[in-house]
Amino acid sequence: MIEYALLFGMGFLAAALLVMLVAPAIHRRIVLYTENRLKATMPLSPQEIRAQKDMVRAVYAAENARTTQELLREREASISLKLANATLSKDASHLMADNQDLRAQIHDMSVEAADFRSKVRRAEVEADNLKEALRRTEESLAAKDLEITALARRIERIMGDVDNLKIERTTRETEIENLKMRVQALRDEREELRRETKLVTKRAKDAEIRLAQEEHKLLRLDDRLVREMAENVDKDALLERRAKEIARLKQGVKLANSQVRTAIKSLRAGNLPVPDFKEITIVEDVPVAAKREADATEMEEELRHRHTALTERLLKAKTATNDKALREEIADIAAKMIVLTAAREGEKSPIPELLRAKSAKGPGKGLTLAERVLAIDPSLAGSAAPRNPLAE
């Protein structure tokens, strides 16, 4: 009866141990399929990455706790098996001792058989019974030895599984660290994209501000152009009226000269004294002077506008990206200022003599200020006839 109970208990323990060994693999497979299904059906985002990270941590903690519990249960089962093995070893030792005692008894009985011939048959029966019991005991011992060997092999497999679980835990820890590094890289990339977005937004705002400034400047220039056009129309109308008045005055002067000549001829024909008379002449062409004055005013306005625009460009420029163009613009403005000053001062201006003295050009150099002035108004060099430079 005890043997059947022991066999049933060992079978139940073996079945429970087999279930505990197979259950983690099945659970891992279910979790793996579930994770793959969730990854395939749900898009990734920073929140989902954090949620998956927390889920991985929870799954890892649950699996670690489950593995710990299974390891504890396996250790307890191993300890119980060791205790059962010790108990069985003690039983086997007792049986061996009993076997030795029985053998001693058989020897004693065989020695006493010569003396007790009447008890031979009973002794033989008892001997056969003892031999049968001994055979069964040896068979049970052999079966227990086989079970002990199987349990030892199973313990070795369990230890191998525990080592594999440790290796898997290490691998998962490495994967978790890699995921942490990847998440940190994604965060750094997100911060870099935020900085770039802020920089682009700032540049766009600066461009909008500059565009608004340019639009205001364009509106001011349009207003100034309209005013200049209106002033030019008024000046053209004034010049036309003055030209008509001068033509009328010329006709009147010519008529007066012809009347005076006729009167002088009449006086000479009547032998009367002829008074001294000088014919009226027009010293200067008034429309040309007015036009020269208008051209000077126009050049002055142009120089003022160019000076204002150049000042705004110099104030807005942060770096000298177009230094040569700015220098050319400044030199051109200075040359036109000298031409305007010479035109204002007239023939008494000392500027032509200074220009003729400074017009020499060194080898490999650019245009000097004097050469720029002479290029604008060659009449200042004294080699050509006087002309109106402002009309050009």
Q: What is the pLDDT of residues 37-96, one digit of tens each?
A: 877 776 566 777 788 788 888 888 888 888 889 889 888 988 988 888 888 888 888 888
Give domain status of residue 258, yes or no: no
The distance from CA 131 to its chain's CA centroid, rounded to whole angstroms, is: 92
Give domain status of residue 224, yes or no: no
Provide the domain count of the chain: 2
What confidence tier does 181 reach under pLDDT thresholds 50, 70, 90? Answer: very high
| The last residue of a domain, from among 183, 200, 217 | 200
Give domain status of residue 194, yes or no: yes
Is the domain of 40 the same as that of 140? yes
Q: Is the pLDDT of residue 383 over 60?
A: no
Is the domain of 294 the same as that of 185? no
Give domain status of residue 232, yes or no: no
- Give the model's pLDDT for residue 273: 64
Is the domain of 135 the same as that of 8? yes
Is the domain of 46 the same as that of 162? yes
Is the domain of 144 the same as that of 41? yes
Is the domain of 292 the same as that of 176? no
Residue the block writes with tokens 């969730």: 38
Is the domain of 58 the same as that of 193? yes
89, two tokens:
């070893």
Give domain status of residue 248, yes or no: no
| Least reliable range by pLDDT among 95-99, 117-121, 178-182, 273-277 | 273-277
Is the domain of 175 the same as that of 42? yes
Task: Give residues with Cβ within 8 angstroms of 310, minimum separation 6.
Answer: 326, 329, 330, 333
- Return the ∠ at Cα 73 (arms to 67 and 75), rounded to 5°: 100
Q: The pTM is what?
A: 0.29
The answer to whether 88 and 143 are in contact (CB under 8 A) is no
Closest among 110, 114, 108 to 124, alpha carbons compared: 110
Give domain status of residue 265, yes or no: no
Closest among 330, 351, 338 to 299, alpha carbons compared: 338
For the purposes of burial, counting CB atoms within 10 Å of the CB of 93, is it exposed (0-12), middle (13-18) or buried (19 or more)?
Answer: exposed
Give domain status of residue 222, yes or no: no
Kindly report, residue by residue over 222-243, the tens digit of the pLDDT.
677 677 677 777 777 787 887 8
Positive or negative: CA dihedral 76, 80, 83, 89: negative
Q: Is the pLDDT of residue 385 over 50?
A: no
Give domain status of residue 235, yes or no: no
Is the domain of 17 the same as that of 159? yes
Range of 361's domain? 286-392
* H-helix or E-strand spanning residue 12: helix 2-41
Closest among 384, 375, 390, 380 to 351, alpha carbons compared: 380
Is the domain of 130 the same as that of 26? yes
For the purposes of burial, counting CB atoms within 10 Å of the CB of 54, is it exposed (0-12), middle (13-18) or buried (19 or more)?
Answer: exposed
| The last residue of a domain, from among 130, 165, 200 | 200
Is the domain of 82 the same as that of 186? yes
| The last residue of a domain, from among 171, 200, 229 | 200
